[in-house]
Structure 1
């Protein structure tokens, strides 16, 4: 078995790298976790995979052996240089390294087609929510599947059920079905982060299934998410109060929409499923 901790420390020493907490540089050093990520991604020889935060390339190598192409996006200049060196030494030629910030890189530079590629990422904790919204909310960037390493608490929020829903949960579950595959202890990383992590699989809904389940027929996604944001503007307040304040309408109008959607007068935003929000939107879109 490869000693990934030793190899990671050796590379850090060679290139004078001090892991930066601000960049989320907690390097995964558990080979069994890499294996779990690879098997969860259900890789095929014709797959194109966008890997975010490849680090020293331990996962990159495993991906490259199994798929048509890997696009590895690495923010850190030194890590991008190391990755290039390692891949060259291993004669791996189907990896394109993009040395940029994944949240700022132009979509055309990634050369991926919506719903035709997969994302595998060990995300820095401080960008995970923005990353999810950015890639799921874009018609140009939306993948067909994501396998992500997330902070355990973030993964739980993404996979929340009615009663514990949030704006993040609705934003993700509108586009895909999230599943927590396994928990990953902090000891699987070096340096160890302060919290445990989780491997999460997000199966993006196909256009066909979307039409049958959560498609906004004749609706507008931008207006839908405006409704959801207004609904969550004060999470602990009654939904009807948030709607009345956010849309500047009377409480009787807000109550009428809530009741017409089959919801309780006292319902709070965290109690609604994605389907409930869609029902409310279809009823209320011409009223608010």
Structure 2
């Protein structure tokens, strides 16, 4: 853990004048306190972590890592990850691409920008895919698309609901058209899942943009979001320059999409597990089971 040293100046008088000595007072963890980027309140980081990484004052939802999401969404100790062996290649020989990916592998502990696996949600078996914006901004390359597709196929095989948490800047430019192909591949897998009468719940978190928002993120039987999540395809400036109009201040927020019929609901992070578990159980009672 990084340590920040707090130094004070201790003044002592001597015949030759004032001598200044440096004295180490205390040592505190560098991440002891966290300042909210929205309301600017300062909290103990531990207090924030215990509150699902939601600001107690303004309800700002901080970004979660994929493993943090597993911890606050699935039943403890039930998650088993899938396809951790898949590795990113460099199909376009993009300079330093593999090296940058390796940096994020070490930083996040993930093999790519999505974590997939099987677990229990309030006792109900589900397959989940959780995108992590700390890994290449959650961008979708060939491995991300392959892992999500395999997770969908696993849910179809097990006859269980598939749930995805999206957080992405879009398709990964370093893989060119190969990354764009993942939009179609994942969508086809979802169609096959749907043809079996199985449930797909898409949960959009901040941010969900580009090719991810234009493919599997928007194809849920039920589309949900966290409060104030940025959701959209192209950026605000690009759209304004294209349509030559000023867009509303809340454009591309979860609240804007809900008001215009593109989302079914917005759930606070603290209630997300309970609400989604209820949806899954209602679907089970509707006639779809593991048998």
TM value normalised by structure 2: 0.27
Indicate the structure with greater helix content: 1
Name the structure, 1 or 2, with higher relative contact order (CA <8 Å, separation 6+): 1
Indicate the structure with greater strand content: 2
Larger radius of gyration: 2
